[in-house]
């Protein structure tokens, strides 16, 4: 596969035309959809959506495990002229309420268990609700079809919600072009082919998780979605489906390398990809031992620009800690405090993968999305990452540090303030500070320091009912007095130092 320098973005639903009719496209529990099936069902779902939500650009949310509806909705919504908002299935009603209210969702598709947790006031007033199984039954008897889209590739296509360093999750606005070119880019540098099988273990609400579908389909391959309970489930699925491509985050790779892999699971593997945190030298060694014939692709990305860099697998052994170089369609500059290109400075991502900003949030958009440096060949708007990196003489990039307080735990980007707000809302704490401490398995382990009348056990019980599992603190510590800095603010750095 090759990419012409003048590759033209297309409406996202054109991905449904990338495979041969009789080949498999989507391997579901109990059935496999061919490419012909995929096209038929996307056309039917798009027509139904257009009937239910006739307003072009309206937001349609999905909140369910991986299945036919959640996998096809990105293309069906795009064809219907709607904006898809995938919601992480692990989130609970407080986070989901914020997302649905923030994007003014017109339609929510969710399974019965998740709908049962929705409380009064969680949904926008005009939001329709459809239970997942009921919708599948409706679509089986629905005869309308909608032809392939002629949308402007610059039109808004999806909103992916991601935590910021402060405040509630913010919605990253992605165009058809963003998602299309992201699929083309990844399919190209991974060398995906029509005979590849991708095991989709990451949540489809993540840009990295959603791209598992889109890049594989661009190459004409097949995807096997999996919601796993244990690492053994992943290994069994690899053997069962002859998986050639597996994407994961470091905590999952750690768990997988601690398992015994069968020959049937290892033999078909052609490539493994990593993002959501850096691989350690020991982890690279373990993956090499288990999969000696597979290619390993370490990657670095930002939801605001999808993906920024990847390391050529041929360089992994000699440069295991490098972020690599820019992916196709991305221009990566290292910029100093004066806005000049430097050997060390802030990573700035320019080019057509840059998102459209944050949904209805001009203030936070202005912080992250700013004019590209003068040196950029693309110009326009760039994403200023807030991450400090170093570029060596050979052109390879290395991560130096993160400027914000974001917690990255088990592959999830978590806002400390979101945890703090929930802790304060319990009434058990008058002050609360959350931060991440380096952890070999998780990337960051979440620590919460609280001052108030409640004790640690009561706080932990309260947080379990309000926050998803991946946002639960590993350590909760109660103090009588919060330390203050010279400006009279809570001294977060000191609290973190005391925990390390």
Burial class (CB in 10 A: 0-12, 13-18, 19+), 117: middle
Domain 407-499 fold is GMP Synthetase; Chain A, domain 3 (3.30.300)
Residue 311 clears pLDDT 90, i.e. is over it: yes
Per-residue model confidence (pLDDT) at position 403: 65
Per-residue model confidence (pLDDT) at position 412: 86
Per-residue model confidence (pLDDT) at position 163: 66
Residue 17 clears pLDDT 50, i.e. is over it: yes
Residue 5 clears pLDDT 60, i.e. is over it: no
* pLDDT band for position 488 (cuts 50, 70, 90): low
For the chain, the average pLDDT equals: 92
Q: Where are the domains of the chain?
A: 12-391, 407-499
Q: What is the mean pLDDT of residues 183-187?
A: 96
What pLDDT, in 10s, does the model give residues 72-129? 999 999 999 999 999 998 887 788 999 999 999 999 999 998 988 888 888 999 999 9
Identify the residue with better confidence: 314 or 484. 314
Task: Give pTM, 2 decimals.
Answer: 0.86
Q: Using CA of residue 204, residue 208, residue 210, residue 212, what is the dihedral sign?
A: negative
The DSSP symbol for 485 reads -
Per-residue model confidence (pLDDT) at position 31: 94
Six-digit token pair at 283?
């982890």
Residue 394 clears pLDDT 80, i.e. is over it: yes
Per-residue model confidence (pLDDT) at position 273: 97
Give all strands (DSSP E) within 279-377, no chain letters.
Answer: 295-300, 309-310, 322-326, 331-335, 344-350, 369-371
Residue 486 clears pLDDT 60, i.e. is over it: no
* CATH architecture, domain defined by 12-391: 3-Layer(aba) Sandwich (3.40)
Per-residue model confidence (pLDDT) at position 1: 45
Helices (H), 125-230: 132-140, 176-190, 207-218
What pLDDT, in 10s, does the model give residues 149-158? 999 999 999 9
**Listed residue (35, 4, 37) closest to 18, CA to CA:** 35
What pLDDT, in 10s, does the model give residues 200-240? 999 999 999 999 999 999 999 999 999 999 999 999 999 99
Give me the helix-helix angle, 456-466 and 416-425, nearest 10°: 110
Residue 294 clears pLDDT 70, i.e. is over it: yes
Residue 301 clears pLDDT 50, i.e. is over it: yes
What pLDDT, in 10s, does the model give residues 411-469? 887 878 789 889 988 999 988 899 999 998 888 999 999 989 899 999 999 999 999 99
């Amino acid at each position: 596969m090759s990419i012409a320098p003048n590759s033209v973005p297309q409406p996202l639903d054109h991905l449904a035309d990338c495979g041969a009719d009789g080949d498999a496209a989507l391997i579901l529990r109990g059935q496999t959809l061919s490419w012909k099936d995929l096209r038929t069902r996307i056309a039917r779902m798009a027509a139904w959506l257009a009937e239910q939500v006739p307003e072009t650009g309206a937001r349609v949310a999905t909140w369910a495990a991986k299945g036919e509806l959640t996998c096809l909705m990105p293309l069906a919504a795009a064809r219907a002229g709607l904006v898809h908002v995938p919601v992480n299935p692990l989130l609970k009603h407080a986070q989901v309420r914020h997302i649905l209210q923030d994007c003014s969702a017109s339609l929510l598709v969710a399974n019965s268990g998740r709908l049962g947790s929705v409380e009064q006031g969680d949904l926008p007033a005009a939001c329709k609700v459809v239970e997942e199984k009921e919708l599948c039954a409706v679509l089986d008897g629905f005869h309308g079809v909608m032809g392939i889209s002629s949308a402007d590739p610059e039109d808004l296509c999806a909103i992916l919600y991601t935590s910021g360093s402060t405040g509630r999750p913010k919605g990253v606005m992605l165009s058809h072009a963003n998602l299309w070119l992201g699929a083309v880019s990844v399919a190209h540098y991974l060398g995906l082919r029509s005979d590849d099988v991708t095991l989709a273990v990451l949540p489809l609400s993540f840009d990295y998780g959603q791209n598992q579908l889109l890049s594989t389909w661009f190459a004409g391959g097949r995807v096997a979605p999996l919601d796993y309970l244990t690492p053994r489930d992943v290994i069994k699925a690899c053997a069962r489906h002859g998986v050639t491509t597996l994407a994961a985050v470091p905590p999952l790779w750690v768990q997988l390398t601690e398992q015994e892999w069968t020959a049937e699971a290892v033999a078909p593997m052609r490539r493994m990809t990593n993002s959501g945190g850096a691989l350690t030298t020991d982890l690279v060694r373990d993956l090499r031992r288990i999969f000696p014939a597979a290619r390993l692709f370490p990657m670095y990305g930002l939801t605001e620009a999808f993906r920024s860099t990847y390391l050529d697998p041929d360089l992994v052994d000699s440069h295991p800690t490098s972020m690599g170089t820019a992916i196709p369609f991305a221009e990566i500059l290292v910029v100093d405090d004066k806005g000049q290109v430097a050997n060390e400075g802030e990573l700035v991502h320019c080019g057509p993968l840059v998102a459209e900003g944050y949904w209805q949030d001009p203030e936070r958009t202005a912080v992250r999305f700013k004019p590209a440096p003068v040196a950029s060949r693309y110009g326009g708007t760039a994403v200023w990452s807030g991450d400090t990196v170093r570029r060596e003489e050979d052109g390879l990039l290395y991560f130096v540090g993160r400027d914000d307080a974001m917690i990255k735990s088990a592959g999830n980007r978590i806002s400390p303030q979101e945890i703090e707000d929930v802790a304060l809302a319990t009434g058990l704490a008058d002050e609360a500070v959350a931060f991440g401490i380096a952890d070999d398995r998780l990337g960051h382990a979440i620590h919460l320091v609280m001052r108030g009348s409640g004790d640690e056990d009561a706080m932990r019980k309260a947080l379990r009912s309000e926050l998803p599992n991946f946002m639960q603190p590993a350590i909760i510590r109660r103090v009588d007095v919060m330390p203050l800095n010279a400006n009279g603010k809570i001294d977060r750095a000191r609290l973190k130092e005391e925990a390390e």
